[in-house]
Amino acid sequence: MMLSCKAATRLASAAQDRKLTVSEQIQLRLHLAICNGCRNFTRQIGLIRSAGRRLADHLDDEN
C-alpha cells in the first residue's frame, strides 16, 4: 500500500527527529522515488533545519 503525500510528509518530518523504523524507511523511500513534490518537501525541511541552526549568526544587531 503506497503512502499518501500527507503521510509521507509526516514521516519525512519525523525522520529529522528520530530514527524511522525499517518499514517506515522503506515506505518513505518508495514514495519519494515516485513523488517529486515530496522530494522537494523533504529537501526544503532540511534547508529549514540548516537555516535554524544558523539563525543565531544572522540576527541583526540593530534595535
Partner 1 sequence: MSLDSAALAAHRPYLLRYATLQLRDAGQAEDVVQETLLAALQASFAGQSTLRTWLTGILKHKIVDLIRKQSREAPLAGNGSDDEQLDDFDALFDQRGHWTSEDQPQSWQQPGAALESRQFWRVYEECAKLMPKRVALVFSMREVMDMDIDEICKALTITATNCSVILYRARMSLRLCLDRNWFGREGAAQ
Q: Which residues bind partner 1 (CB under 8 A)?
A: 4-7, 9-10, 13-14, 16-18, 36-38, 40-41, 43-45, 47-56, 58-63
State in angstroms the smallest separation of the CB of 55 from partner 1.
Answer: 5
**Angstrom distance (rounded) from CA 27 to CA 51:** 28
**Which CB sits closer to partner 1, 22 or 56?**
56
Going 33 to 36 to 40 to 42, the CA torsion angle's sign is negative
State the CB neighbour count (10 A cutoff) for residue 21.
10
